[in-house]
Amino acid sequence: MKKTSTRLADGRELIYYDLRDDTVRDAVDRRPLERTVTTSEIRHDELLGDAVAIASHRQGRTYHPPADECPLCPSQGGRLSEIPDSSYDVVVFENRFPSLAGDSGRCEVVCFTSDHQASFADLTADQARLVLDAWTDRTSELSHLPSVEQVFCFENRGAEIGVTLGHPHGQIYAYPFTTPRTALMLRQVAAHKEASGGENLFDAVLERELSGERVVLDGEHWVAFVPYAAHWPYEVHLYPKRRVPDLLALDEGARTEFPEVYLELLRRFDRIFGSGEPPTPYIAAWHQAPFGRLAEFDGVTRDDFALHLELFTIRRTSGKLKYLAGSESGMSVFINDVPPERAAERLREVASS
C-alpha cells in the first residue's frame, strides 16, 4: 500500500491509498473554494446520559446529484470534484459537511473505488484489503488526535438508509467521547466479568454462536453469525476468532482472509430477496474499543473489548422496510419479524456460485 497525503483547495486533508507503490499523486484541486466553516456542537442529554451533535451547516450538503455531477467521482476534463486526480484506488478526505469538527471530533469520507456504478461487493479481494488497510491507518491516525476517544468506520448503502450520494463510499467518525452503544457493551462486559469470576463476555458469546445454528460463514480467522437477539430482520455479526480490541491489532492471517469472508457476506446480502429486487440497503458498522480511559467500567480494559462488524438491512421482506416506530423509537425496544434462526438459514441458502 502506498499512502499520499495532500490538501484540497479549502484546506481539508485528502489521502490517496494505492495498490501500486510507483503511483504518483500530484494533481492539484483547482476549485475556487473558500475555507470550510462548521458549527458542530456536542450537547449532553442529562436524562439519558448520552450526547447529540448539533450541526446546522449540514442542511446545505449535496443531495442526490446526477451521476455526471457526483462529487466522489474523480476529476476529469472540466468537471472538478472532491478528488483532484483523474483516477484512484481508495481515497479518504475530510468531510466538507461534517457532523463532528474541531474539538467535537472529526468526520471523513472513504471512497472505495472510482467506479460510480460499483458497490463494495463488486471489489476484488485486493481492493477490499486496501480498504481494510485504509480503515486501519485512519483508526491509528485519528486515535492520536487529542479530541478523539473513539473511532467508528462504517458504510451506509442505499437510498432507503438515507444515503445522499450514490457513489460507493463509507465514512469515519472520530468521536470526542465513548459512544452510548459502546458504553452499554462495556457495562455488560464488566458485569459479566464480575459475576463469572473473570470470564470475557465476548468470548462466551462467540463460543456459544460457533456451536449453534445461526452461523452463516465460518473461516479460519473469521466467523459470521446472526446473533441470538438480532434487532433487525437480517443482521449478521462478523468477528475475528482471536479477540482483539481494534483494527490495529488484527494479525496478518485475519487481514488476508477478511476480503474473502466479507465480500461473500455482502454478496449473500444482495441475494436475500431474490434476483429481481434492487440492491439490498444496509449499514455496515465496525465496533472498536475506545482509546480513552475506561475507569468508569469496573475492571475492564481495552483488551476486554472485541472488535467486530455488525451488518444489517432495514428491508424485512421483498418491497417492505422495517420502520422504527413507537416501541423502537420511543422506548428502544426492538420487535423483529424474522426469527434469527430463519435469517441465518436464508443467508446460508443464498451462497454465491
User: Which among 318, 305, 316, 174 is positioned nearest to 243, based on CA atoms?
Assistant: 305
What residues are paired with 309 via a beta bridge? 238, 286
User: Which among 97, 301, 279, 59 is positioned nearest to 186, based on CA atoms?
Assistant: 301
Residues that are catalytic: 169
**Rounded Cα distance, 233 and 283, in Å:** 13
What does the block give as the cell for 319? 418491497
Query: Do the beta carbons of residue 179 and residue 118 sit within 8 Å?
Result: no
Query: Do the beta carbons of residue 281 and residue 270 sit within 8 Å?
Result: no
Query: Do the beta carbons of residue 1 and residue 19 sit within 8 Å?
Result: yes
CB neighbours of 70 closer than 8 A, spacing ≥ 6? 81, 116, 165, 166, 167
Helix (H, G, I), strand (E, B) or coil at 208: helix
